[in-house]
A and B are shown apart, each in its own frame.
Chain A
């Protein structure tokens, strides 16, 4: 097994862990940070799998803008899930 396959499987593992983590959280702020981590890892994964266009989109929209929009929404509503 070459190092590329190891790297990709490790990143996918991190992806799944942070996805499950952000679903389980009751604190929405932490959950949003989890989704941001998903976006960052996904963007690295896209870059490694030779899709730099998609990686740019994922980094700019997924990691930055949608996280901030979620954060503003949380600030203006409730922080904890009922």
Chain B
């Protein structure tokens, strides 16, 4: 019975995949989309960084999917490690050299991460990179001070608010402009910090979300027993 259902489902999927596959025209020249991006990015999205405009604006829905994948991965890790007995981490701190360096570098790394995701539409980098840099800074403190704790409740609130911001901005675009993530704010002058409409808002949200998720992952891993 189960095999019959599986074969039926596979057949349905196969039919649709085959029909899509056969409808693709092969052998035709299908270039020009990259050229379009390079020529029209500034006039259409107001972002100087073409990569950012593709990631957040033209292919913004895919970015929402990526953020969701990361969220699911961190939730799954938490679910797998939930049953494992939590323990207090080893009490001994790192050596004074590591501790001093960490206290000096921790604010700088956080600042660099914030810079990278706030300037995502102007310079290389963006939400994912900035969030990962912030998580690296927190990791440095985890390694130096054994008593440095991440506040899980606060991190969950930050993560949920950031995800909510992303979806709200996208849905506002849907209501206002007819498709998901339409730029409904004024574009401003290119190369300004406050420009490119919703792109900086989304990238700041993504930065907070990725930073919080990766910190939770590191904390979960460090706190399991053994």
A residues apposed to B, CB below 8 Å: 52-53, 55-57, 60-61, 64-65, 68-69, 72-73, 76
Contacts and interface: CB of A to CB of B under 8 A. Distances in A.
Nearest to B55: A53
Interface stretch (B9-17, B127-135, B164-172, B175-183): B127-135
Contacts of B224: 76
Contacts of B126: 53
Contact of A60 (B49, B136, B217): B136
B222 A72 contact: yes
B124 A69 contact: no
Main secondary structure of the interface of A (DSSP, over half): helix
A64 B142 CA distance: 14
A72 B52 CA distance: 33
A11 to B, nearest CB: 19
Given A65-B136, A72-B221, A76-B226, 8 more contacts: A52-B125, A53-B52, A56-B124, A61-B132, A64-B132, A64-B139, A68-B218, A72-B218
Contact of B217 (A53, A55, A57, A69): A69
Contacts of B133: 60
9 contacts: A61-B132, A64-B136, A65-B132, A65-B136, A68-B218, A69-B217, A69-B221, A72-B221, A76-B224
Given A64-B136, A73-B221, A57 B128 contact: yes
B7 to A, nearest CB: 38
How many of chain B's residues touch chain A, expressed as a range?
20 to 34
Contacts of B217: 69
Given A68-B218, A72-B222, A60 B124 contact: no
A25 to B, nearest CB: 22
B51 A65 contact: no
A60 B221 contact: no
Nearest to B136: A64
Nearest to B113: A60
A68 B214 CA distance: 12
A65 B221 contact: no
B132 A68 contact: no
